[in-house]
Amino acid sequence: MQVTTERLKEAFQRMLEIRLFEEALGELFAKNLLGGTSHFCIGQEVCAVGTVFAVEDTDWLVSNHRGHGHLLARGLDPARVMGELLGRRNGYCGGRGGSQHMCAMEHHFLGTNGITGGGIPIGTGAALALKHQRRSEIVVVFFGDGASNQGTFHESLNMASLWKLPVLYVCENNGYGMSNPASASMAAQTVAARAGAYAIPGQTCDGMDIEAVMGAAAEAAAHVRAGKGPALLELLTYRFCGHSRNDPRVYRTREEEARWQQRDGIGLTESKLLDRGVSPADLASLREAAEARIDAAVKTAMAAPCGDRQHALGGVYA
Ligand SMILES: Cc1ncc(C[n+]2csc(CCOP(=O)(O)OP(=O)(O)O)c2C)c(N)n1
Ligand SMILES: [Mg+2]
């Protein structure tokens, strides 16, 4: 698939915004301005942006615990995503959900999810609903390599294939489930190979190459949209940070991290843009625009009011 230079520039800026957003979030944690933990997707931005840019804005997204990139790739307002993380009323769920329980139906975003593999049946069920309603949208479900060891993955793929549901399964294979290397937990060589057991086409793709991801995702989405049933895309990537905050990363070497960082998808996209004749000044202005957007988002979120007790109980139905 030929990605236009304009589209590549948009993708570059969006990926930068995701990285800057999470770096800003890290600073807020360091200043003790929010509690709990968070799972950063720094290093994996290509997966979110490449996939989401390859499908329609009306297609439905289902995310996992590492979802900030998916939310921002879809075009949600970073001030409202940050507000949600900070428990502010301007957040997409009024500050009640936080990082792992954030949804935005108006953006066709069916939620982040803290349960490993929990989003896979949710997305499969949404696809069943779309099929019943004879609608043209598809569902994209993001999950990790670790989640592909869960029963939810296998049961969902089996059913989705049997019923030819309009769902694209996107596995961000970052090589680890917490501290557990994929090689120690997966009997199959690749997650894509597992799709074959359910008669679903599976493809493995370089998750650091934005053009490769956009191309593969567009092809897989076209298969799904044509009514041929589900498809699975495995994106090989790496999380540059620990699994969550306070992870000393004793289960992997600094050399391994450095090797992957040399193939940082944002840097590779910058090189592609330079090769296409985009000037360093143009790239600098994209970077400045991203910085300004995230700075403003953090300020807006910090200034937004928190919910009170009555607000916290809103939306409780049982
Ligand atoms: C059902 C369930 N089991 C275990 C956990 C603890 N847990 C949180 S994230 C995670 C690893 C997920 O690995 P992967 O799917 O590869 O995603 P990644 O964190 O690498 O993005 C685990 C085991 C959980 N949240 N839910
Ligand atoms: Mg993983």
Q: What is the pLDDT of residue 240?
A: 98
178: tokens are: 């917490």
The verdict on the CB of residue 144 being under 6 Å from ligand 1 is yes
Asked if residue 2 has pLDDT above 90, the reply is no
**Cα 141 to Cα 128: distance, rounded to the nearest angstrom:** 13
Q: How far is the first Cα of the chain from the last one, in angstroms, to the nearest whole number? A: 49
Instruction: Indicate the top mutation candidate among 41, 64, 65 to test ligand 1's pocket, ranked by most ligand atoms within 8 A of CB.
Output: 65
User: Given pLDDT bands bounded at 50, 70 and 90, which one contains residue 35?
Assistant: confident
The residue whose CA has the least distance to atom 20 of ligand 1 is 177
CA of 180 to the centre of ligand 1 (A): 10
Distance, CA of 247 to chain centre? 21
pLDDT digits (tens, 9 = 90+) for 257-300: 999 999 999 999 999 999 999 999 999 999 999 999 999 999 99
**Cα 206 to Cα 202: distance, rounded to the nearest angstrom:** 14
Tell me what percent of the chain is helix, strand and coil, each rounded to the nearest 5. Answer: 50, 10, 40
CA of 122 to the centre of ligand 2 (A): 19
Q: What is the pLDDT of residue 262?
A: 98
Q: What is the pLDDT of residue 201?
A: 98
**Cα 282 to Cα 287: distance, rounded to the nearest angstrom:** 9
The residue whose CA has the least distance to atom 2 of ligand 1 is 116
Q: What is the pLDDT of residue 179?
A: 97
CA of 195 to the centre of ligand 2 (A): 17
Q: What is the pLDDT of residue 110?
A: 98
Q: What is the pLDDT of residue 318?
A: 82
CA of 150 to the centre of ligand 1 (A): 10
pLDDT digits (tens, 9 = 90+) for 174-193: 999 999 999 999 999 999 99
Overall pTM surpassing 0.85 (yes/no): yes
Kindly provide the residue ranges of all beta strands, DSSP E only, lying in the chain, ordered along the sequence.
60-62, 139-144, 167-173, 176-177, 180-181, 202-206, 231-236
Q: Which domains does the chain have, with CATH numbers?
A: 5-303 (3.40.50.970)
The verdict on the CB of residue 44 being under 6 Å from ligand 1 is no
**Cα 17 to Cα 287: distance, rounded to the nearest angstrom:** 9
Question: Residue 200: which of 232, 170, 236, 168 has the closest Cα?
Answer: 232
Kindly provide the residue ranges of all beta strands, DSSP E only, lying in 149-291, ordered along the sequence.
167-173, 176-177, 180-181, 202-206, 231-236
Asked if residue 1 has pLDDT above 90, the reply is no
Instruction: Indicate the top mutation candidate among 38, 64, 116 to test ligand 1's pocket, ranked by most ligand atoms within 8 A of CB.
Output: 116
CA of 7 to the centre of ligand 2 (A): 28
User: Given pLDDT bands bounded at 50, 70 and 90, which one contains residue 317?
Assistant: confident
Cβ < 5 A residues, ion ligand 2: 144-146, 174, 177
Q: How far is CA 311 from CA 37, 61, 95, 215, 305, in A?
A: 23, 27, 9, 44, 11
Q: What is the pLDDT of residue 141?
A: 99
Q: What is the pLDDT of residue 315?
A: 83
